[in-house]
Amino acid sequence: MQFTNTAALACALFSSIGLAAPRESAWGSVATVQLANDHSGANANVNIPVDGEKRSVQELWGHTAVAEHGLVFASSTQLTAFKQTTSCTFTKGDKVEATLNAQKTWASFGGVVDLCDAYIVCECDL
pLDDT for 87-121, tens place per residue?
999 999 999 999 999 999 999 999 999 999 999 99
- From the list 34, 33, 27, the residue with the least C-alpha distance to 51 is 27
Domain membership flag for residue 65: yes
Count of Cβ atoms closer than 10 Å to residue 94 Cβ: 5
Is 39 part of a structural domain of the chain?
yes
Q: What is the average pLDDT score of the chain?
A: 84
Residue 84 lies in a domain: yes
- For residue 43, give its domain range: 30-124
The arithmetic mean of pLDDT across residues 58-71, rounded, is 95
Nearest to 52 by CA among 102, 119, 7: 119
Residue 95 lies in a domain: yes
Q: What's the number of domains the chain is made of? A: 1
Mean per-residue pLDDT, 20-32: 58
Q: What is the pTM of this model?
A: 0.77
11 located within any domain: no
